[in-house]
Amino acid sequence: MPVKAHSDSELLICIGAQKAGTTSLHAWLGSLPEVSTSSSGKEIDYFSRYFDFGAGWYLDHFSPAKPVWLDVSPNYFIVPDLAERLATLPIPYRVVLLVRDPAERARSQHRHSLVTRPDTTALSFTTELERNLTYLTNGFYGRVLAGLEPLLAKDRLRIVWFEDLAADPASVVDSICAELGIGSRPSEALLGRRSNASGHVRSSMLQTVVHTSGTVLRRAGGERAVSHFRASRTVDRVLSANRREIGGAAGDDGFDMEMHTLRAMFRDDLRLAEDRTGLPFLERYSGECVPSIEDPGSEPA
């Protein structure tokens, strides 16, 4: 398929492991008028599933009238030759890698499993860890960065700390927009929205209707309409009332492992990430000063 002309557009690809903030970042950046998102939803998965379809197929998901195209997918996190695949693109691109304290991220993934997979509700964290190695591998940033080294050399890769995104989303989003030359910013109401947090719902039917409606609208090209809908106070109150957060106290989420034991499993990889980037991965995530922050909360419709 031929690639249509869009030399003035730049592609922003955001990758990150599950529970690292990709849903929030997609909602915030996707609400901006200068940004084109895929009509098929957040995750096109071109580089992870449909690379054989070719760049023309991929780029046809975006509007050539918009200066910035946004593709967000946690699935790109596990593509070993991502840098080589990116190099085949005929337009300028840059990559944002979202990272989170790997121990807290693993615990959050387990919370998410308790909600989305009923078969895990009776399982402790330790038991599920033995069955699901992604609890660990999704936090191995050093391995991922080893494959992205060509992007580091070309200054095309930016690392965003999830903890900064959760604590001050406006500042992080503002800096990304400034780099892209985007003048507008997400609304304060939307920035205050936490996306994809782990929790139980009181009415699964209500949750299903909201999520299904959002998916249909996104596939019809209505990403901005979805963002405005989610930013309304009425919708916020309804969804908040329907959510029962999983408690953070020990044992509330089946977490039965000492945090220092879990952190030790990531130490060598964090050292590798630090060596690759010169950034303080060990200092941030060694455990002494790591704040426990739940995901930046309710899934945008």
- Residue 267 pLDDT level (bands cut at 50, 70, 90): very high
Cα–Cα dist 163/19, whole Å: 12
Q: Which domains does the chain have, with CATH numbers?
A: 10-197+254-285 (3.40.50.300)
CA angle, 10 then 12 then 15, to 5°: 160
Give the pLDDT confidence score for residue 60 in this predicted structure: 93
Give the pLDDT confidence score for residue 260 in this predicted structure: 93
Regarding beta strands 243-245 and 199-201, do their DSSP bridges make them parallel or antiparallel, or are they unpaired? antiparallel
Q: What is the pLDDT of residues 110-126, one digit of tens each?
A: 888 877 776 666 678 99
Cα–Cα dist 210/299, whole Å: 9
The pTM for the full model equals: 0.77
Q: What is the pLDDT of residues 145-177, one digit of tens each?
A: 999 999 998 899 999 999 999 999 999 999 999
Higher pLDDT, 8 or 200: 8
Contact residues for 216 (Cβ-Cβ < 8 A; gap 6+): none
